[in-house]
A and B are shown apart, each in its own frame.
Chain A
Amino acid sequence: MSGLPPYASPLQTFWYYAFRVICGLIFFFLIFPIIVIMPLSFNSIPFFTFTREMLTLDPAGYSLVNYQDFFTNPDWQRAVWNSFRIAPVATLLSTAFGTLAAIGLSQPHVPFRRAIMAILISPMIVPLIISAAGMYFFYSRIGLQGTYWGVVLAHAALGTPFVIITVTATLVGFDKSLVRAAANLGANPVTTFLRIQMPLIIPGVVSGALFAFITSFDEVVVVLFVGSSGQKTLPWQMFTGLREQISPTILSVATLMVILSIALLTTLEYLRRRSEKLRGLSPG
């Protein structure tokens, strides 16, 4: 694949370039929808297509009117506030419970390991609409439907599998003799956990937390059913906007959210490299 050999036949040369063109088109398909909304979000008129002014780079074709609407419209602001009120609490819950459980699951002798794992991972497997339906039925029975805590608990449950998976992955490379060495040198289990184990698995915990955060922050199906209008989050507001009449403000929100995902992706990549370095898996 790396480079074309000098003895390649014309057919091979043709296929070599054709394959790259095909891949280029697929990459274009993957990235184009995300890129295209960025310039469109600066459109000065409420259209979803490039105007003549925009194509000729005329400053008059561009404006910040959509962003202005996003930052001043009380509906959007309330949605942002709700999202930031729900996601961190849900993240905290799923990270705390999930990290403890992952440490427990990685012990050598766990009774019913497979069954427990299946239950703990299930929120990730079950389709969201089924989780949403079940939670709607059950939470209305116990009076949690339409409350802040109902949404937080639901989102925390959905986020835990990600924490378990990422933390378990970090624990796989964890050297057990370090814990024994610490115990041997007189540290009690809590000190050992806080001073030896925690610093080594912290990249896994943080990336699990990021996954849990984005799960809650991006989640719309469950909040649609479990929440009431008082818990209207950003994705919910976008969903309503898209379903009823699509307002150009959505494009500015989408652009800001893409920037948020880029920031998250960068953090995760940094954490992954750091974790590998800490565990001595790669020289870099």
Chain B
Amino acid sequence: MTDMTAGKSGEVLTTRDGTPLKAALAKALRREKMRAILLIAPLLVFVLLTFIAPIADMLFRSVENQIVEETLPSTVQALGTWNPDEQEIPDEPVFEALFQDMKVAVKEKTHTQVGSRLNYESPGISSLFRKTGRQIRRMDEGDYKAQFLDADKRWGEANVWKTIKQFSPTYTDGYFLSAVDRKRSDTGIEAKPEREQIYIFLFWRTLFMSMVITFTCILLGYPIAFLLANLPLRTSNILMILVLLPFWTSLLVRTSAWKVLLQQQGVINETLYQLGLVADDGRLELINNQTGTIIAMTHILLPFMILPLYSVMKTISPSYVRAAKSLGANDWTAFWRVYFPNTVAGIGAGSILVFILSIGYYITPELVGGTSGTFISNRIAYHISSSLNWGLAAALGTILLVVVLVFYWLYDKIVGIDNVKLG
């Protein structure tokens, strides 16, 4: 296609139809890039719409706070001039604005929504809005302040008004503050009371248990990977099935197997009892606590440790260890000073993989974790489906996502995402 005509020095090389060679090559490169883009575009659009947009929506929801301004527009405006330092509670115009807003809100039944939104920040407001909503129709014109105070005396508390004013902007950092057990008060950001602090503890527990699981996986995975990498291929291929079968078995199958094994009346306790190792009333509590989560998740994630370790160990030439031994090292020194340092990359890859997978786990902790063995994911799920505090769920999810992405970035640095292998 780019049939060159040999030119004298200084003459521009051209293709047969006379276009300069440089331009023709650039055009060909552009066409090639275009073709690549066209092949990738359908999936890119698909993933952007079905996956990236939802993640972006979650990030947005963690700061979004339109409901107060949308439901109580004139109240928010009237509150603009109210200064809690100067007056205890706002004046008549604010109450009049509130009356107008509430009338519309009650008609559209949105007053309970704004009530439950503000209830996350200051417990009790939800019932205040519901109660006032029922009485709004009976209110007459004029002297709204007295009528509101009559409907519920909590309207006379400065705290209620402060909460409304504080959460009237369209965006809020309130969910993130709640997610790290903080709240905003008159003096700035402060820690929540001791008994309401749960999330920081839960994040630590998630990280700690994930580390324990990762460590157990290294402990159990290293010998297996070593054995598989050093046995003759025929034998190791057969033993590999024992690793791959659990890897391929449904997560729920493995979780239910552990549920069956670890129960008080389950196989392990029953065997120990029959052997006389434990008394009938002294059966081990292996499930619905941290032990249960750690055992089951180690089992589930172990293949993710063994496979990368195995592929690294496979590349270590046996002559290294032989050389070390012929130079006088004993078995332990040869292993520890020569073989082990070569496998550190594999340990790193496997550990990050197991750790990333484990901090986001939901199903297994939910089923075998009880109350003490659950992760932050379980709390996120709870806020989505039970407490309906979506903003807090989104904030917790965002924090978890950031943690995962940091570790993922590390993984990409160390291993490279292109080197991910399956099976």
Please classify the interface of chain A as helix (H, G, I), strand (E, B), loop, or mixed, using the class held by over half of its residues. Answer: helix
Q: Is B50 an interface residue (CB 8 A)?
A: yes
Cα–Cα distance between A70 and B417 once the two chains are bound (Å): 41
A105-B40, A220-B252 known; A246-B50 Cβ under 8 A? no
A101-B39, A268-B423 known; A127-B242 Cβ under 8 A? no
Residues of chain B lying within 8 A (CB to CB) of residue A49: 265-267, 270
Most chain A CB inside 10 Å of its own CB: which residue of B36, B220, B243, B421:
B36
Q: Is B275 an interface residue (CB 8 A)?
A: no
Q: Is B377 an interface residue (CB 8 A)?
A: yes
Q: A157-B47, A246-B260, A254-B250 are in contact. List 10 more A-B contacts (CB 8 A).
A: A1-B230, A23-B223, A33-B299, A50-B270, A117-B418, A135-B54, A157-B51, A158-B51, A239-B367, A242-B256
Residues of chain A lying within 8 A (CB to CB) of residue B245: 31, 34, 258, 261-262, 265
Q: Is B244 an interface residue (CB 8 A)?
A: yes
A23-B223, A37-B260, A127-B360 known; A134-B57 Cβ under 8 A? yes
- Kindly list the 8 A-B residue pairs having the minimum CB-CB distance in the complex, ordered from nearest: A127-B360, A104-B39, A134-B54, A1-B230, A138-B54, A33-B257, A101-B43, A134-B58
Q: How many residues of B contact A (CB 8 A)?
A: 90
Checking B44, B258, B367, B400 against A130 with a beta-carbon cut-off of 8 angstroms, the contacting residue is B400
Cα–Cα distance between A136 and B270 once the two chains are bound (Å): 42
Cα–Cα distance between A12 and B334 once the two chains are bound (Å): 14
User: Which residues B54-85 have CB closer than 8 A to chain A?
Assistant: 54-58, 61
Checking B40, B259, B367 against A116 with a beta-carbon cut-off of 8 angstroms, the contacting residue is B40
Q: Is B336 an interface residue (CB 8 A)?
A: no
Q: How many residues of A contact B (CB 8 A)?
A: 96
26 CB contacts below 8 A, A to B, read: A26-B224, A27-B224, A30-B242, A33-B261, A34-B249, A40-B267, A48-B260, A48-B265, A108-B32, A109-B32, A111-B37, A116-B44, A121-B417, A123-B47, A126-B55, A127-B401, A127-B404, A134-B51, A134-B55, A235-B250, A246-B260, A254-B256, A257-B250, A257-B253, A258-B249, A262-B248
Residues of chain B lying within 8 A (CB to CB) of residue A217: 250
- Once the chains bind, are B51 and A122 in contact (CB under 8 Å)? yes
- Once the chains bind, are A251 and B256 in contact (CB under 8 Å)? yes
The stretch that binds B, out of A60-68, A160-168, A194-202, is A160-168
Cα–Cα distance between A47 and B266 once the two chains are bound (Å): 9
A34-B245, A129-B381 known; A107-B32 Cβ under 8 A? yes
- Once the chains bind, are A221 and B299 in contact (CB under 8 Å)? no
Cα–Cα distance between A29 and B421 once the two chains are bound (Å): 24
- Once the chains bind, are A107 and B249 in contact (CB under 8 Å)? no
Q: Who on chain A is nearest to B58 by CB?
A: A134
Cα–Cα distance between A22 and B226 once the two chains are bound (Å): 12
Q: Which residues of A contact B (CB under 8 A)?
A: 1-2, 12, 15, 19-20, 22-23, 26-27, 29-31, 33-34, 36-37, 40, 47-50, 93, 97-98, 100-101, 103-105, 107-111, 116-123, 125-139, 141, 153-154, 156-158, 160, 162, 164-166, 168-169, 207, 211, 214, 217-218, 220-221, 225, 235, 238-239, 242-243, 246, 250-251, 254, 257-258, 261-262, 264-265, 268, 272
- Once the chains bind, are A130 and B55 in contact (CB under 8 Å)? yes
The stretch that binds A, out of B129-137, B142-150, B389-397, is B389-397
